[in-house]
Structure 1
Amino acid sequence: MPALPAYPVDLRPCIPVQVAGRYQALGLREVLLQAHRIDDLALPLPPAHSALLRMLTAITAELTGLDDTNLSLDEWHERRRGLLTSGRGLKPQDVHDYCDASTWDLYDPHRPLLQDPRLAEQCTKTSGINKLVFGRPAGNNLSWLSVHTDTAPHPLPSDEAFWHLLIQHYYGAAGRCTTRSAGPHTSGRATAGPLRSTLSFHPQGATLLETLLLHQFPYRGGPQRPPDACPWQEPDPPDPVNPPPPVTWPKRLLTGRSRHAVLLIPNADGSAATNSYLTWAAQHPAYPATDPCLIIDTHTRAKAEQRDTPRRADADRALWRDLDALLLAGDENNTQRRPAVFDTLNDLPDAVRARLRVRVCGFDQDGRTTNSIWYTALTPPLWNWAEEHDPPAARRIAACRQAAEHLAALLRTHANTAWNETQTPTGGTPPAPRRGQKPSRWAREALALYWPRAEQAFWNLVHQNPDEASEPYPVFARTATDALRQAVRPDLARHRMAGPALARAVRALTAAATPAARRTKAARHAQP
């Protein structure tokens, strides 16, 4: 009898890592055993990197006992501090016992990892392998820049199938999917994954184990029922008929909120996936939960259920513009709240705090089906600037970011005004810029020039000129006027009104950056 196809991710080398500056692939079991020697994960897909970090964080919580709800806050911090300073890895026997207790095979016929074998009977047809893979065109979509088509799909190597399986569970699309019939529910529509279109912030240490320990956060609630568990620890796949279990800490919060059900179909030897089912996992509304690696923005004028939203990933937004949201502790008047994992980093050993960096993973998507681009970045060590350790530095960083944003808004407004004045016939009255008006050509070009220069000015202020950082508006005003001049320069000889309009815009930008102008504006907004 021929052997069944198999691909156990705990044994097969499916997770790229970096060790001593070199890259290699390891199985999940070996990643856990060697976590104290591994520098970092090296997955080439940022959303898969972010998803796997959450998965490994939940596993590490159990292996270290940091998921013990009976620990007091002081005991929890003492335990983690001891793990950070011990220099030892996870206990090998605990790792083997943990891995032996679950099924990690992607193609197990009864309990495939993070999949539902019932889909073969409950779905009307397969979805195709291209539907699983982010970046491949599927269905009737045109293949503009890809060799892949649904008429001749290329098999997906099993290690990559594992990465895309993770991405689907966290960042999967809403809307049309393969029809599934389960109990009273027959539907071909799914809701978006819990991290769709979001920007994740991950504290990063010197080793992978240190990184996973920095991701831990203590429990501050009551008894958890049912007992907390990850999907691979459950005896059965998620129930598609009844409401899902409540979100518990930390495992279901980090790994158990998927809105999609997947089943991979392998080739004969399990080296690749050749087809898949991709459909909905639940028709009941998702329970509200706040992921601990997301910045939460508060919109005070929105409805209560829409007031707190995760910060969206935006490929056009430079990542340094989010630094103050990480470094400031926040208060009841703040409209942004830093990720919960960063609230537990204030009692770290000095050496750990000094080298702590932040890995940023973003997936620029709309809320439903369109995927634009994913990206990642790694900050320099910055936690010594946190408000709890260096309040003046944190406030300087916040002031510089706010000044840069303020001058960018003014640049857009005055560039639009100058454009309108230039395009208005002599003797006519130029239209005033409207709220929500699309940026003019000058505004687009000026902002494209402004933001890279603003980032350089920001780091110069933070690192080299702390005195100027206490009054950063003039610096960013000069940056904005230089960008506007360069954007308008090609049109000065073609439009007679361009020169005077540019001069007025430059004067307005310069004047708005003075302390007197900002005090006047603040007083005007403070009036009832």
Structure 2
Amino acid sequence: MSLDGDTAHHSLCALLAEADRLSTIHCATPGETVAVVEYLLAICFASGTCPSSDEEWRTWVIEERDLGHASDWLADQPDDAWDLFHPEVPLGQNALLAPCFHESGTGTAQLVIEHAGDYNQHFDHHHLERDEPLPAAEAFRAMLTQHVYAPYGRARMSGRELGPTVTNLAAGRLTGRIRVVALGRTLGETLRLNLYPPEGPGKPLNTSWTSGGVERRNFTEKARPRTPRSSADLHSALGRSVLLRPSRGPDGGIVVDRVLIGAGEVLDLDVERHLQDAVLIRALNGLEKPLWPSPTRALWRDAHALYGSVKDAETGLYARLRSLPYERKGPGALYQMWAVGLLTNKALPVAWTQGVYPYAPGMAGHLFRASRRGSDIAEYVASSLKRAAVVASEIAYPAARAADDSRQSARFDARWKFWPFAAQPFYELLDEVIEEGLVDGDDPVSRPLVDYARVLVTAARTQLSHCLDSLPPNHRGHRARARAQQRFEDDMDSVKAPAEIRGGTAHD
């Protein structure tokens, strides 16, 4: 369903009214989809369409409470407050940027996180000046994504008009961490799963920088983080100052042809109160922090932290999920937990990372064990591939300098093939555990784990063989190949190997 410029009001009304007849919403990127879900949650909170307690939340989910009140509330709001191109209170924007627009406005690439780079990516800024208008609906969703996920950096504008700190772009409230959205079988169920007893009164909803009764920062001094006044305020926070210029497209429809982006709000967030979905893990400094996206570690390798939260959490999203009654309506998981993060290199966005993990009420412990053991098995096999590569390198190149050791062994290191391959068997393991739960409620994990381990070891053995094909076809090369393969097999038979690899079972 589209969210078109000056008809955003009516499109959002229809989206909420039809929520239980829509399976989901699909946007251009995972982050954009999360941003739209966040905005729909904000509307629900602002309208009071939310449970008042955890007990009422369970009732809402089980009885599939209708979200029509949120649609009705939104329909009663004045159209001017929801006009994407209103001259004084443009939806989601800061009209105070208008005096800077002529000097600092750019092409629409700056609005789209995946296109904008670090907002000053190229020396001549040519990519930001290209005339590539965006349909109003796309511009609206891109703006929501900026508010939620935009990384820190330096705005491409002058601070002469509004103050020097308008150029200091702070990171969005979901930047640098994994956001987990509980998914149901319809959009309505997804919204109900992610609603919660609200923090503060329903309003204010942030419809623009200069409306809503929120005392916002100025740009003459460093921003002072403010505490969100309500759940509606939190989920609609304006993490960027944005201004969009409308124009007419070739077909007569409204498009956005120029944009301007400056600093936005900075929030003071409390993990327990404002990060209902946070998966807390211990960092190297010993402190707990929300799970963050990593460029070197695939998200599925930490799925056990997600299931551990469901198993052990006392408050928040995961405690509520665990409280749902055990009920199976045929094969497959009732719910899924969708984890999304934005990978960045300092101020430069790199890629979205995501994973979808099944959940069935009553199976948190089993899924935690499967994901924990599944990750351990994959880690062990990958380490064995690394050790085999080192053996091959030491025999093939005995005279190599110490400085060249890592480069030489990298030629035979099959981990770069193994890790991308291992993801799908891991997801299949989780699905199989849930299916096995229908047959064996006491131990639905052991058999799927042994099958999973067998798949990984067989694939790793083949991948290692392919990597060793680059050895020279002489006596030394043949010996290096044989010794490397034997080292791998010795690791698979070692008493240190996970029991599943050796054909047994292990219980935590």
TM-score by length of 1: 0.74
CA distance in 1, matches of 2:373, 2:412: 27
Letter of the aligned partner of 2:234 in structure 1? L
Match of 1:230 in 2: 205
CA distance in 1, matches of 2:172, 2:291: 13
Letter of the aligned partner of 2:462 in structure 1? D
Please state whether the residue corresponding to 1:42 is helix, strand or coil.
Answer: coil
Among 233, 258, 265, the alignment partner of 1:275 is 258
Say whether the 8 Å CA contact 1:202–1:215 is kept in structure 2.
yes
Say whether the 8 Å CA contact 2:107–2:130 is kept in structure 1.
no
Structure 2: give runs of 5+ residues left out of the alignment.
437-443, 499-508
Q: What is the CA distance between 1:184 and its match in structure 2?
A: 6.0
Among 293, 308, 319, the alignment partner of 1:328 is 308
CA distance in 2, matches of 1:164, 1:374: 15
Among 332, 345, 368, the alignment partner of 1:394 is 368
Match of 2:189 in 1: 210
Q: What is the CA distance between 1:308 and its match in structure 2?
A: 1.5
CA distance in 2, matches of 1:382, 1:93: 29
Q: What is the CA distance between 1:458 and its match in structure 2?
A: 6.8
Q: What is the CA distance between 1:399 and its match in structure 2?
A: 0.9
Match of 2:88 in 1: 110
Distance 1:197 1:113, change over 3 A: same
Say whether the 8 Å CA contact 1:442–1:487 is kept in structure 2.
yes
Say whether the 8 Å CA contact 2:279–2:291 is kept in structure 1.
yes
Match of 2:18 in 1: 34
Match of 1:441 in 2: 411
Q: Deviations over 1:406-461 (max 9, x none)?
A: 32233234324422442233xx7978977xx8971221x44314541564277359
Match of 1:188 in 2: 167
Q: Deviations over 1:503-523 (max 9, x none)?
A: 33334334444563369xxxx
Match of 1:482 in 2: 462
Match of 1:129 in 2: 108
Say whether the 8 Å CA contact 1:266–1:272 is kept in structure 2.
yes
CA distance in 2, matches of 1:385, 1:412: 38
Q: What is the CA distance between 1:117 and its match in structure 2?
A: 0.2
Letter of the aligned partner of 2:304 in structure 1? D
- Residue correspondences, number: 465
Match of 1:522 in 2: none
Q: Deviations over 1:191-232 (max 9, x none)?
A: 22222354432211121111001112346x8xx5x9863312
Say whether the 8 Å CA contact 1:399–1:469 is kept in structure 2.
no
Say whether the 8 Å CA contact 1:474–1:510 is kept in structure 2.
no
Q: Deviations over 1:256-277 (max 9, x none)?
A: 2x44211111115870111111
Distance 1:507 1:429, change over 3 A: farther
CA distance in 1, matches of 2:423, 2:355: 18
Q: Which has the higher helix share?
A: 2
The 5-angstrom pairing of residues 293-304 of structure 1 reads 293-299=277-283, 301-302=284-285, 304=287
CA distance in 1, matches of 2:267, 2:48: 33
Q: What is the CA distance between 1:9 and its match in structure 2?
A: 0.9
- Identity fraction in percent: 20
The 5-angstrom pairing of residues 75-474 of structure 1 reads 75-82=53-60, 84-86=62-64, 88-91=66-69, 94-96=72-74, 99-100=77-78, 103-121=81-99, 125-136=104-115, 141=121, 149-177=127-155, 178-181=157-160, 185-218=164-197, 224=200, 229-232=204-207, 234-235=212-213, 238-241=216-219, 243-256=224-237, 258-267=238-247, 271-282=254-265, 287=269, 289=271, 291-299=275-283, 301-302=284-285, 304=287, 307-312=288-293, 314=295, 318-329=298-309, 340-349=316-325, 350=327, 354-369=333-348, 371-374=349-352, 378-379=356-357, 381-384=358-361, 386-387=363-364, 391-425=365-399, 440-443=410-413, 445-449=414-418, 451-453=420-422, 455-456=424-425, 459=428, 462-463=432-433, 466-468=445-447
Please state whether the residue corresponding to 1:201 is helix, strand or coil.
Answer: strand
CA distance in 2, matches of 1:466, 1:96: 47
Say whether the 8 Å CA contact 1:457–1:475 is kept in structure 2.
no
Say whether the 8 Å CA contact 1:420–1:430 is kept in structure 2.
no
Distance 1:440 1:107, change over 3 A: same
Matched, 1:503 2:478: no
Q: Deviations over 1:114-135 (max 9, x none)?
A: 1100011257522432211234
Please state whether the residue corresponding to 2:381 is helix, strand or coil.
Answer: helix
Distance 1:313 1:195, change over 3 A: farther
Please state whether the residue corresponding to 1:239 is helix, strand or coil.
Answer: coil
Structure 1: give runs of 5+ residues left out of the alignment.
12-26, 520-528
CA distance in 1, matches of 2:63, 2:335: 14
Letter of the aligned partner of 1:383 in structure 2? A
Please state whether the residue corresponding to 2:21 is helix, strand or coil.
Answer: coil
Say whether the 8 Å CA contact 2:226–2:268 is kept in structure 1.
no
- Select between 89-98 and 127-136 the one with higher mean Cα deviation: 89-98
Distance 1:487 1:320, change over 3 A: same
Say whether the 8 Å CA contact 2:279–2:309 is kept in structure 1.
no
Distance 1:474 1:499, change over 3 A: farther
Say whether the 8 Å CA contact 1:416–1:439 is kept in structure 2.
yes
Match of 1:48 in 2: 32
TM-score by length of 2: 0.77
Say whether the 8 Å CA contact 2:149–2:171 is kept in structure 1.
yes
CA distance in 2, matches of 1:456, 1:113: 45
Over aligned residue pairs, what C-alpha RMSD do you find? 4.0
